[in-house]
Amino acid sequence: MNGSKWGGIAAFVCAGLVGASSVAVAQAKPQVTFAKDVAPILQRACQACHRPNNIAPMSLLTYEEARPWARSIRVKVAEREMPPWYIDRNVGVKKFDPDPSLSDAEIDTIVKWVDAGAPRGNPADMPPPRKFDDSDRWHIGEPDIIATLPKDVIVKAAAADQWMDVDMTHVDIPKDRYIKAVEVKPSKGPSVVHHAVASTYLEDDPEISKTLLVEYAVGKFGDIYPDGAARVLRANSKLSMNLHLHSIGEEIPANVVVGIKLYPEGYKPTFVETVTHVGDNEDLDIAPGDANARSEGYTVLTKPVRLTSFQPHLHNRGKAQCVEAIIPGAGIRPGIAKTQTISCVNRYRFNWHIVYHYTPDDQPLLPAGTMLKVTSWHDNTSANKFNPDPSNWAGFGQRSIDDMAFAWMTWYELTEDQYKEMVAERQRKTQAATQNQQQ
């Protein structure tokens, strides 16, 4: 209401100064409405989950569905709790694909809409409904290998959230092969599958060899590697699935399917993507009641790399994590290293498993000898709602009541020549962009 009063005065002043045409402009300053301004944002950033038969508790497809949630929507978007996206936006790499998060302008629009009483506006302004095209087809094309859970997991009508590792059906991989694309998705019960992360491992050495393969995230349809780039699938690999299942008031059978497309046998890719633990710290010392237990771990890059994604791995007490690159020989004086922040997740949420994929132009290029430093923070107080026992000391361990600290990172290993070429190409692009700006 204040807004329109001041708007009116501004219109009056303008009219006096520059004539009648600006009156029309100022008075026409439209109110923020659902149909025109809010619906497009919900379509892009919310509806993938907030629609029937998906993981969110309510649907936000229509005005009637969204209106009762207006207050709660305002709180969740203003606090950047929704959509789930917990990367620190102010440091390190800033561009991701996919990136469901809201811009400051979009948050402002939603806040203004709620504060104005959440008006519907003119139904004719509604965008056409978003079409969802997800579970019934492969987005990577027809896979060569398909694996599922050997039997459905029954999610009871009422039960605590469950986290579990389940071996997938056997796949026969007699020789090392290269992966062109990989996708995972719920094949049954999408409303109860909150996350599904597929890993590969070798039976002889399950602990050391376990490697993240692909994660299911609502709105993301698998990983397709650019031509010439690949992941390795080791001979005799087994597949295992880590699940987070969430009851929704009725008994639901759930299952998950992984599809893998291979390059032809004998194919040699130019770039091989490595997925690896970075900065493991197995000496965690998390005192009871400590709200900010800090630990560090380090990994040295033995070859130049192009970093493609980051996912913090902490257990229930996880609070935040940062990855920095300490780059040797990049300083002005001999012997001085340069530190570059790669990514920080400043509000780790144990129940959301988010992999942050960098856009190609923003994937950090790092020389051999770079030290990756991973700093993690754990909150062992009762203020952390996921904490199983704030009165106990916690250390490193496999059980979910123990804790962990490392980052999953993916990169392409580069030869020295490939690295130099990519750095030069980046410099050319940056120069071209700066020249464009100056013109």
Does 72 participate in binding ligand HEC (rule CB under 6 A)? yes
Tokens of 278: 């970075």
* Two tokens, residue 109: 């629009």
Q: Is 243 in the site for ligand HEC (CB under 6 A)?
A: no
| Binding segment toward ligand HEC, per CB under 6 A, in 6-14, 72-80, 277-285, 380-388 | 72-80
Angstrom CA distances, 260 to 103, 146, 237, 270, 372, stand at 34, 7, 13, 19, 30
In whole angstroms, the minimum distance from the beta carbon of 75 to ligand HEC comes to 7
In whole angstroms, how close is the CB of 79 to ligand HEC at the nearest point?
10
> Residue 351 is encoded by which pair of tokens?
């129940």
100 binds ligand HEC (CB under 6 A): yes
Residue whose CB is less far from ligand HEC, 133 or 172: 133
Nearest to 46 by CA among 110, 120, 128: 110
Closest contact distance (angstroms) between CB of 66 and ligand HEC is 8
Q: Which stretch binds ligand HEC (CB under 6 A): 41-49, 123-131, 289-297, 331-339?
A: 41-49
The torsion of the CA quartet 253, 198, 236, 209, rounded to 10 degrees, works out to: -130
Two tokens at 53?
A: 């038969």
CB 82, min distance to ligand HEC, A: 3
Residue 32 binds to ligand HEC (criterion: CB under 6 A): no
For residue 40, say if its preceding peptide bond is cis, omega within 30 degrees of 0.
no
Rounded to the nearest whole angstrom, what is the least distance from the CB of residue 161 to ligand HEC in the complex? 10
Pick the closer one to ligand HEC by CB: 161 or 280: 161
Least Å distance, CB 131 to ligand HEC, is 17
Minimal distance in Å, beta carbon 69 to ligand HEC?
5
E strand or H helix that includes residue 127: none
Count CA atoms closer than 13 A to 290's CA, side-chain side: 18
> What x/- string results for residues 74 through 93 when contact with ligand HEC is judged by CB under 6 A?
--xx----xxx---------
Angle between helices 20-27 and 2-18 (to 10 degrees): 160
Q: Which is nearer to ligand HEC, 16 or 57 (CB)?
A: 57
Number of residues that bind ligand HEC (CB under 6 A): 19
Cβ count within 10 A of residue 371: 17
Asked whether 49 and 55 are in contact (CB, 8 A), the reply is yes
* DSSP three-state, residue 326: strand
Distance CA 198, CA 409 (A): 15
Binding residues among 393-432 for ligand HEC as defined by CB under 6 A? none
With beta carbons less than 8 A apart as the criterion, state whether 47 and 127 touch.
no
Stretch that binds ligand HEC, among 66-74, 129-137, 142-150, 237-245 (CB under 6 A): 66-74
E strand spans, 7-152: 145-148
Q: Is 49 in the site for ligand HEC (CB under 6 A)?
A: yes
- Asked if 407 contacts 321 with a C-beta cutoff of 8 angstroms, the reply is yes
- CA gap 279, 133 in Å, rounded: 38
In a 3-state reduction of DSSP, which class is residue 96? strand
Question: Does residue 57 interact with ligand HEC by CB under 6 A?
Answer: yes
Residue of 39, 153, 179, 218 that binds ligand HEC (CB under 6 A): 218
Sign of CA dihedral 56, 104, 374, 369: positive
Judging by beta carbons within 10 Å of its beta carbon (0-12, 13-18, 19+), is residue 259 exposed, middle or buried? buried
Window of 73-81, 121-129, 131-139, 332-340 that interacts with ligand HEC by CB under 6 A: 73-81
> Least distance to ligand HEC from the beta carbon of 105, Å?
13
Q: Is 277 in the site for ligand HEC (CB under 6 A)?
A: no
What does the alpha-carbon distance between residue 217 and residue 343 come to, in Å, rounded to a whole number? 20
**Non-local CB neighbours of 190 within 8 Å, separated by 6+ positions:** 53, 54, 55, 135
307 binds ligand HEC (CB under 6 A): no
Residue pair 327/366 in contact by the 8 Å Cβ criterion: yes
Which two structure tokens, joined as six digits, stand for 412? 């392409």
Complex with ligand HEC: residue 23 or 111, whichever CB lies closer: 111
- Residue 410 Cβ, how far from ligand HEC at the closest point, in Å? 21
Among 15, 26, 69, 274, binds ligand HEC (CB under 6 A): 69
Among 11, 32, 39, 73, binds ligand HEC (CB under 6 A): 73
The mark string for 157-196 relative to ligand HEC (x by CB under 6 A, - otherwise) is ----------------------------------------
Closer to ligand HEC by CB, 45 or 320: give it.
45
Q: How far is the CB of 107 from ligand HEC (least distance, A)?
A: 9
Task: Give the residues lining the site for ligand HEC (CB under 6 A).
Answer: 45-46, 48-50, 55-57, 69, 72-73, 76-77, 82-84, 100, 102, 218
